[in-house]
Chains A and B, each alone.
Chain A
């Protein structure tokens, strides 16, 4: 059976299968409804920027008020979800923790992202002092793709910052982009996430309210990827026995800064 081509999408990739309008017509017929939006507008879909701003502002104010408690809650929940949580008073202490990890693991190659958090935390130098090599996992054009990947596969540790951390779930949220590879937190067997107080949100609802504001502000761009990381990679697919470190890291560390 040949597949009909429908139309050109923006990127020059054609949509296959049946035309979407025809598909939707089948759905409408099954539902017995007319074309058009729901008669009752769906509250979670409001696009009124003022409303969304106001909602996000309320969330931010609450987070600001509750930051000390949220940090405690994050540390406790993250610990329960399998993170090794290390709370630090400053960059120096954080670096000390990271270098001691590098030494314990005997990791000679440590990959890291390029994120603002490292501006005030000279992690390359610290790890070099401990006899390891810390390198930024960024691609210099497509030619370096294979090279970076191979290097990542051989690295003993990956270090990233966090775009958010959620107290409710103990999750670190990363938004891969320029400087932050999707792979640096999943390919090496150990992942270290540096979390600053300003990254912390209370709940999943907080996070989605804030992201939604960004989305609407950006003229409707979510960014290509958003990832929650909550503890180590694990499986229970054989006899429900939990094993950590299947395809992702077996060990994850949350370095939680008490102050910016």
Chain B
């Protein structure tokens, strides 16, 4: 499995907010993607958009609610089409399955089109350790493979890189003359990968959708690499999280409308490819073998919790990242694992364990922009709250040095707020302590623990001399509509 550094969220995000290049890259992507997404919604009208979201949500709700049934249907139909379905409980097993398929077919070279699941598995390193050459072929994935990094966004893996950084990377790694001309850089990638496509023994792809009734794998791409990876090599391996199933061919239409518009604002992507089994005997080309690897890797934990189940409705469009004020400041890598942003803050704890990803659900203002943007109406803030609850009041294993202070403060707060009298006393004490330090009614930079984390950049008001309750009692109560005390 890919390395988990979710515990590093605080230092990583502290470094990220100071990284001017990253900020510039995030700003460009955020406003760009989200701007075109909004235009696309206006174009179809917000009412129609809502209908689509409702329909997509209904489909996902139904399918995930009967996932065992549809997985069985899918397996039956992939098999009937001549393909093979493999089920993997975890990353290790999934990697072993792909390795074994590669060995059985004497594979030396693999071309890959984008797959977040393979990032999750850390598949490239597994294959490379067996002396298999693996080439990422999506331009963004190619860039981060050359840089030996991980994706920082669900649909734009190299979003964090500026053109200058890519230019330097290409010059260093490919020995080409340094150029910042983006068109030229795309051409360099085309040339570097062209022959690989035609020579590769095995193609690996992700899956945007799996259609149960026909046994089809659907991928949605723009560059054409997905078409080449699924057409040219002798063997095609599709990797998919188990939640990717939809029942029928006819369910696909609404997702083809929602996904590209939500992802980049595109009305439709350049390509949609639907793979059903290996090539038929009479076909001109296509792989001799088709394998579909269905991965759990922690998803059944999300499924088992009714409060988190809807995280499996996600179609990985990235819209929630593009509108998230936190993601927009810290970027994808700070989240410390494969899935960043609002949905990552739910999926990552689900897959790697909440105990080591406690910052992710907490690092949100719960502003709700993600939920409004989500094409399947996933209520991300509500799930974040649920995870916060699990952390604060859940098992011992989630507790750490700060936990006791946290629950002590919470209990203290609840006790004071349960008694108007205590609250009044508390305010007076607070005022007596703080007022002498205040200037113009506010506290400037203070060294009081915790308070200092606020006042390092923001003045803090001190408790008022009289509470509103007192003012009401003394001056405002008992007055009718016209009884103004002006």
Contact = CB atoms under 8 A, between A and B. Distances in A.
- Does A pair with B? yes
Interface of A: 1, 3, 9-11, 13-20, 22-31, 33, 35-38, 42, 44-45, 80-82, 137-139, 145, 149-150, 153, 169-171, 176-183, 186-187, 203-205, 207-209, 211-212, 215, 220-241, 243, 245-249
A45 B72 contact: no
Given A16-B97, A23-B89, A24-B68, A247 B137 contact: yes
B97 A27 contact: no
Contacts of B293: 17
B256 interface: yes
Interface string B218-239: 0000111101101110000000
B163 interface: yes
A51 to B, nearest CB: 12
Contacts of B270: 82, 229-234, 248
B176 to A, nearest CB: 15
B481 to A, nearest CB: 55
Interface in B72-105: 72, 75, 77, 79-82, 84-89, 92-94, 96-97, 100-101
12 contacts: A20-B72, A20-B75, A23-B87, A23-B242, A33-B68, A211-B249, A222-B215, A226-B276, A235-B222, A238-B166, A240-B28, A243-B186
B248 A42 contact: yes
Contacts of A19: 87
B267 A243 contact: no
Given A10-B82, A45-B213, A138-B284, A153 B257 contact: no
Given A10-B79, A215-B249, A246 B186 contact: yes
A245 B289 CA distance: 29
B64 to A, nearest CB: 8
Contacts of B68: 24-25, 27-28, 31, 33, 35
B62 interface: yes
Interface string B248-292: 111111001100000010011111111111111011111001010
Given A181-B284, A183-B285, A243-B186, A27 B71 contact: yes
A169 B259 CA distance: 14
B182 A169 contact: no
B198 to A, nearest CB: 5
Contacts of A204: 252-253, 256-257
A170 B29 CA distance: 26
B140 A3 contact: no
Contact of B29 (A15, A82, A240): A240
Interface in B163-198: 163, 166, 182-183, 185-186, 189-190, 193-194, 197-198
A116 to B, nearest CB: 16
B247 A178 contact: no
Nearest to B137: A247
Contacts of A38: 62, 65-66, 69
A208 B252 contact: yes
B341 interface: no
B310 to A, nearest CB: 13
A13 B84 contact: yes
B216 interface: yes
Given A44-B251, A176-B286, A180-B284, A230 B271 contact: yes
A239 B75 contact: no
Contact of A24 (B71, B186, B284, B301): B71
A24 B72 contact: yes
A177 B96 contact: no
Nearest to B215: A222
A224 B182 contact: no
Max count, chain B CB within 10 A of own CB: residue among A36, A45, A149, A222: A222
A20 B85 CA distance: 9
Contact of B81 (A150, A180, A221): A221
Interface string B313-347: 00000000000000000000000000000000000
A237 B138 contact: yes
B267 A237 contact: no
Nearest to A204: B253
B39 to A, nearest CB: 13
Given A27-B300, A179-B284, A245 B101 contact: no
Contacts of B117: none
Contacts of A3: 93, 96-97, 100
Contact of A18 (B89, B213, B282): B89
A150 B29 CA distance: 38
Contacts of A233: 222-224, 270-271
A37 B69 contact: yes
Contacts of B231: 176, 182-183, 186, 225
Interface stretch (B153-161, B419-427, B455-463, B472-480): B153-161
B392 interface: no
A149 B231 CA distance: 12
A15 B242 CA distance: 16
B193 A27 contact: no
A229 B198 CA distance: 20
Nearest to B253: A204
Nearest to A169: B268
B24 to A, nearest CB: 9
Nearest to A222: B276
A224 B81 contact: yes
Given A26-B296, A247-B137, A248-B224, A230 B269 contact: yes
Given A208-B249, A208-B253, A225 B224 contact: no
A246 B87 contact: no
B162 interface: yes
B286 A182 contact: yes
B458 to A, nearest CB: 34
A240 to B, nearest CB: 5
B250 A9 contact: no
B33 A205 contact: no
A222 B249 CA distance: 10
Given A44-B251, A241-B182, 7 more contacts: A22-B87, A27-B303, A42-B62, A212-B250, A239-B25, A246-B223, A247-B190
A204 B249 CA distance: 10
B294 interface: yes
B13 interface: no
B85 A15 contact: yes
B214 interface: yes
Interface in B27-46: 28-29, 32-33
